């Protein structure tokens, strides 16, 4: 999401600084007008350099996702530790007006009692990834209470769109399209009629993020960001089949304990407070994603042929 956000901010005429572990040629081509500071999150000297005279910080860093967080739970403690390194620098940056934190509306609520789910729902995450997100949310509340740090927590639904790495199998839309277009069988975890998600196209997610960051005064600190519409995996499969014009081959396996079965975000708070609403339908988003995934696969093939020659 960071690249999409940086591009959108540049189009607005904002000055953008990107803090990353390693500069990439691709990144510099995509974002030629961005100031890039290379460094580790634990390097407070480099962090101070990057945050000097900045007024907004967007925090999108995560070393894990739901599945990988189970492999080595210590990675989640590292997520929290690195986050705290950044917050310790932020509290001393006098120009900093706001911190926007990318949380996870798909994991922090666990299996909610109420669907659609508002920001007031109890937080009962099922995975270490979700637990770490809740922990970082709570640390933001601490820094606000102790140091007056202004913050906004963005609880995103299930974002998807171009630049999402499809072969990592994170994100059903990217993973399903990638495997389907390559002629591979898709794995469904659980009953596809019972697994329900709220999908959010990347451009809508970015517009919501910018709206929250640039509004000077907000009545709340926590916002759900989603479509407020739930789609089953079965509906998603049928939509992909309709879009590609051929049947999708899949097999079902047991539903993992760490995966939430049903989550639809109630986004009435952000609708009311900033006037944002998503504009890209699932059908429109699938068209864009199919084009991008197809191009990604063609590029994979071209690189493979080049290496083999």
Report in angstroms the alpha-carbon separations of 165 from 28, 45, 112, 179.
18, 31, 29, 12
What per-residue confidence (pLDDT) applies to 309? 39
Cα 101 to the chain's mean position, in Å? 10
Residue 145 pLDDT class (50, 70, 90 cuts): very high
Report in angstroms the alpha-carbon separations of 42 from 49, 63, 130, 155, 165.
13, 14, 22, 25, 26
17-26, 83-92, 179-188, 252-261 — which is least confidently predicted?
17-26
pLDDT digits (tens, 9 = 90+) for 94-110: 999 999 999 999 999 99
What six digits make up the tokens of 199?
A: 């999908």
35-49, 109-123, 160-174, 202-216 — which is least confidently predicted?
160-174
Q: Are 248 and 186 in contact (CB under 8 A)?
A: yes
- Tell me what percent of the residues of the chain surpass a pLDDT of 90: 76
The answer to whether residue 74 scores a pLDDT higher than 90 is no
What per-residue confidence (pLDDT) applies to 267? 98
Report in angstroms the alpha-carbon separations of 48 from 55, 98, 224.
13, 16, 30
pLDDT digits (tens, 9 = 90+) for 4-44: 999 999 999 999 998 988 766 556 666 678 888 888 898 99
What six digits make up the tokens of 126?
A: 């099922």
What per-residue confidence (pLDDT) applies to 29? 63
Residue 161 pLDDT class (50, 70, 90 cuts): very high
What per-residue confidence (pLDDT) applies to 156? 98
pLDDT digits (tens, 9 = 90+) for 109-138: 999 999 999 999 999 999 989 999 999 999
Using DSSP bridges, classify how beta strands 231-232 and 158-160 pair: parallel, antiparallel or unpaired.
unpaired
pTM for the predicted model, two decimal places = 0.93
What per-residue confidence (pLDDT) applies to 75? 77
- Tell me what percent of the residues of the chain surpass a pLDDT of 70: 91
The answer to whether residue 306 scores a pLDDT higher than 60 is no
What per-residue confidence (pLDDT) applies to 64? 65
State how far the Cα of 107 lies from the Cα of 127, in Å rounded to an integer: 7
CATH of 1-306, picked from 2.60.40.680, 3.40.50.10240, 3.40.50.720, 3.40.50.300, is 3.40.50.720
Section 189-212 average pLDDT: 97
């Amino acid at each position: 999401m960071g690249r999409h956000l940086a591009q959108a901010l540049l189009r607005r005429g904002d000055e953008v600084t990107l803090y990353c572990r390693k500069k990439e040629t691709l990144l510099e081509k995509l974002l030629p007008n961005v100031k890039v500071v290379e460094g580790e999150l634990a390097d407070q000297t480099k962090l101070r350099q990057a945050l000097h005279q900045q007024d907004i910080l967007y925090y999108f860093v995560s070393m894990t996702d739901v599945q990988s967080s189970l492999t080595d739970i210590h990675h989640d403690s590292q997520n929290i530790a690195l986050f705290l390194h950044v917050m310790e620098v932020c509290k001393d940056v006098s120009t900093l007006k706001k911190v926007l934190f990318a949380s996870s509306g798909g994991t922090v609520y666990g299996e909610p009692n109420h669907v659609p789910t508002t920001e007031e729902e109890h937080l009962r995450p099922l995975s270490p990834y979700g637990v770490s997100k809740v922990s970082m949310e709570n640390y933001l509340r601490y820094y606000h209470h102790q140091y007056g740090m202004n913050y906004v927590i963005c609880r995103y639904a299930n974002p998807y769109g171009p630049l999402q790495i499809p072969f990592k199998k994170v994100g059903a839309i990217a993973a399903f399209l990638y495997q389907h277009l390559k002629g591979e069988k898709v794995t469904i975890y659980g009953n596809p009629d019972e697994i329900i998600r709220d999908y959010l196209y990347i451009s809508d997610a970015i517009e919501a993020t910018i709206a929250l960051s640039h509004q000077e005064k907000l009545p709340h600190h926590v916002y759900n960001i989603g479509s407020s519409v739930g789609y089953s995996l079965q509906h998603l499969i049928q939509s992909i089949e309709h879009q590609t014009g051929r049947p999708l081959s899949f097999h079902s396996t047991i539903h993992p304990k760490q995966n939430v079965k049903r989550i639809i975000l109630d986004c009435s708070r952000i609708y009311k407070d900033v006037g944002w609403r998503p504009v890209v339908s699932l059908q429109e988003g699938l068209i864009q994603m199919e084009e991008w995934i197809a191009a990604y696969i063609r590029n994979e093939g071209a690189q493979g042929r080049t290496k083999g020659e």
